[in-house]
Amino acid sequence: MSINWPRIIAFISAIIISSSAVSAEDLYTNQPPVTPELAFAGPYDVGVSTISAIDHGRLNTTNFITTTERPLVLEVWYPADLSAPSASKATYKNVTRLQQPFELQGDAYRDAAPVSNGQFPIVLLSHGFTGYRTQMFYLGEHLASHGYVVVGIDHKDSTNAEVFDNDTRASGGISTFYNRARDQQFVLNYFAEADERQLIPGLKERVDTNNAAIIGHSMGGFGAINTVGGCYAFNSDNLKKIGVPTILANLLPFRLNSCFAGQEKLDPRWKAIQVFAPWGGELDVHDAQAMEKISVPTFFVAGDQDNTSGFENGVKKLYQQTGSKHNYMMVYVNARHNIAGHPAPAASFHSDFELGHYVEPSWDIETINRVNKHMSLAFLDCHVKNDGARCGYLPAREDIQQYQGADNQYSAPWPGFKHLWGSGIRFYRQ
């Protein structure tokens, strides 16, 4: 009898690889009962699928003359029907800024069937420079469980995997300036116009693209502000301040300065934006007069020690310039720039540079994530779903702190927060 050695070797190798594989990291502990009320999962099970979309006519930012294809990888979370037992829990793979791979455990079910009825507003998740489409996966899963279709975007030229040296950082920066808002508008158009075959089977009729929102971090927020009317005001001086060579700095404003993601006017389907630590305020890259004309409900989230986007002359200034009659800002006291993403994966613990992408010195990221889930849901339900009861969860008092400092006197907790389980956060309206 002949022995099929190649097949045996392949079989043994598969066993070795399987047994040595490291399981995905679970970054989250159990939700304690003192978690803010709206941070708990909603009534829907959640499915997640990865799809690709291509803009076939985007301006090429290597020369600003020709057009090119711009592919975007999208992670889509949605209310799911788990009656079919085939779906399994999803994991999310990516790399750190130093190209170290990691895999995270999610709570959504990979490629599960969408629910068979209902329509759900679409919310885009737009990462910073650099980042990745699943950096806010906790928000994607959470909002989908409460009746949203959430789309995380891998912004080409701006992801961890694509930006790894000085050359890719320089070209990626220019691409990000031009493409970020346009990516956001393109994805909304894509879901509105896509054939059923381009999406997850059964999802097309579930997506309500007439009621849309953007949640953006850093450069994602920079783009979202432009998408709803915060026109860019790049000039040679502010471009040179961030290291753009003089020749390019003199030419780029003619290509970069645009409004409404390159359109002539606001797309009325945009109902709200939430911007975590949006970049650009310190360099005045958004036109102040255009900011005053923004009409879309806007929610700024900041750390008052943000040394990337700045606070007093950065995020706070953008908030104060925004003219929307529904304009809010939440501030994490003593926090810096990392107030939107998931906790640090183990692969990031090898250097300060890596941890600097995930960790806050004075805050536990899991706590921030839970507050974000609560406040994001309140804001979106209020202004995208027009749920008046959820508007009541947006605080009327500035300081979350209850203890008055003497004689055991307390004020009421913020709506949805447990007594004495809120500290170090402020909320503003204007």
Q: Would you say residue 29 lies in a domain?
A: no
Q: Are 112 and 45 in contact (CB under 8 A)?
A: yes
The single-letter DSSP state of residue 25 is B
Residues 411 and 303 in one domain: no
Residues 159 and 178 in one domain: yes
Q: Would you say residue 39 lies in a domain?
A: no
**Per the structure, how many domains does the chain have?**
2
Residues 376 and 403 in one domain: no
Residue among 257, 261, 218, 233 nearest 58 (CA): 261
Beta bridge partners of 49: 76
The single-letter DSSP state of residue 410 is B
Residues 146 and 268 in one domain: yes
Type of residue numbered 288: A
Q: Would you say residue 40 lies in a domain?
A: no
Q: How far is CA 382 from CA 63, 117, 377, 379, in A?
A: 43, 22, 8, 5
Output the tens digit of pLDDT for each of the chain's 430 residues.
Answer: 445 443 443 334 443 333 334 589 999 998 888 999 999 999 999 999 999 999 999 999 999 999 999 999 999 999 999 987 677 999 999 999 999 999 999 999 999 999 999 999 999 999 999 999 999 999 999 999 999 999 999 999 999 999 999 999 999 999 999 999 999 999 999 999 998 889 999 999 999 999 999 999 999 999 999 999 999 999 999 999 999 999 999 999 999 999 999 999 999 999 999 999 999 999 999 999 999 999 999 999 999 999 999 999 999 999 999 999 999 999 999 999 999 999 999 999 999 999 999 999 999 999 999 999 999 999 999 999 999 999 999 999 999 999 988 888 999 999 999 999 999 999 999 8
Residues 261 and 161 in one domain: yes
What is the model's pLDDT at position 430?
87
Residues 305 and 421 in one domain: no
- The count of residues in the chain is 430
Residues 330 and 200 in one domain: yes
Q: How far is CA 265 from the centre of its chain?
A: 24
Residues 261 and 296 in one domain: yes
129-142: pLDDT as tens digits? 999 999 999 999 99
Residues 232 and 281 in one domain: yes
Pairing of strands 113-114, 327-332: unpaired
Residue among 175, 171, 27, 161 nearest 97 (CA): 161
Q: Would you say residue 351 lies in a domain?
A: yes
Q: How far is CA 314 from the centre of its chain?
A: 19
Spatial separation of the C-alpha atoms in residues 149 and 381, rounded to whole Å? 13
How big is the chain by its Cα radius of gyration, in Å? 22
Residues 316 and 428 in one domain: no
SS3 (DSSP) at 143: helix
Helix axes 365-383, 137-145, angle to 10 degrees: 40
Type of residue numbered 391: C
Spatial separation of the C-alpha atoms in residues 40 and 374, rounded to whole Å? 8
Q: Would you say residue 182 lies in a domain?
A: yes
Which residue range is the domain that position 416 belongs to? Answer: 395-430
Spatial CB neighbours of 222, under 8 Å, sequence gap ≥ 6: 180, 216, 278, 279, 280, 285, 286
Q: Would you say residue 2 lies in a domain?
A: no
Spatial separation of the C-alpha atoms in residues 36 and 375, rounded to whole Å? 9
Q: Would you say residue 157 lies in a domain?
A: yes
Type of residue numbered 310: G
Q: Is 408 exposed, middle or buried (0-12, 13-18, 19+ CB in 10 A)?
A: exposed
HSE-up of residue 366 (Cα within 13 Å, Cβ side): 9
What is the model's pLDDT at position 11?
39
Residues 402 and 359 in one domain: no
Q: Are 375 and 368 in contact (CB under 8 A)?
A: no
H/E stretch holding 51: strand 45-59
Spatial separation of the C-alpha atoms in residues 53 and 83, rounded to whole Å? 29
Beta bridge partners of 102: 94
- CB neighbours (10 Å) of residue 263? 13
Taking the CA atoms of residue 163, residue 169, residue 172 and residue 174 in that order, the dihedral angle to the nearest 10 degrees is: 170
What is the model's pLDDT at position 404?
85
Q: Is 308 exposed, middle or buried (0-12, 13-18, 19+ CB in 10 A)?
A: middle
Q: Which two tokens stand for residue 91?
A: 């994991």
What is the model's pLDDT at position 354?
96
Residues 303 and 414 in one domain: no
The CATH number that applies at residue 312 is 3.40.50.1820
Single pTM value for the model: 0.93
Q: Would you say residue 26 lies in a domain?
A: no
Q: Are 324 and 353 in contact (CB under 8 A)?
A: no
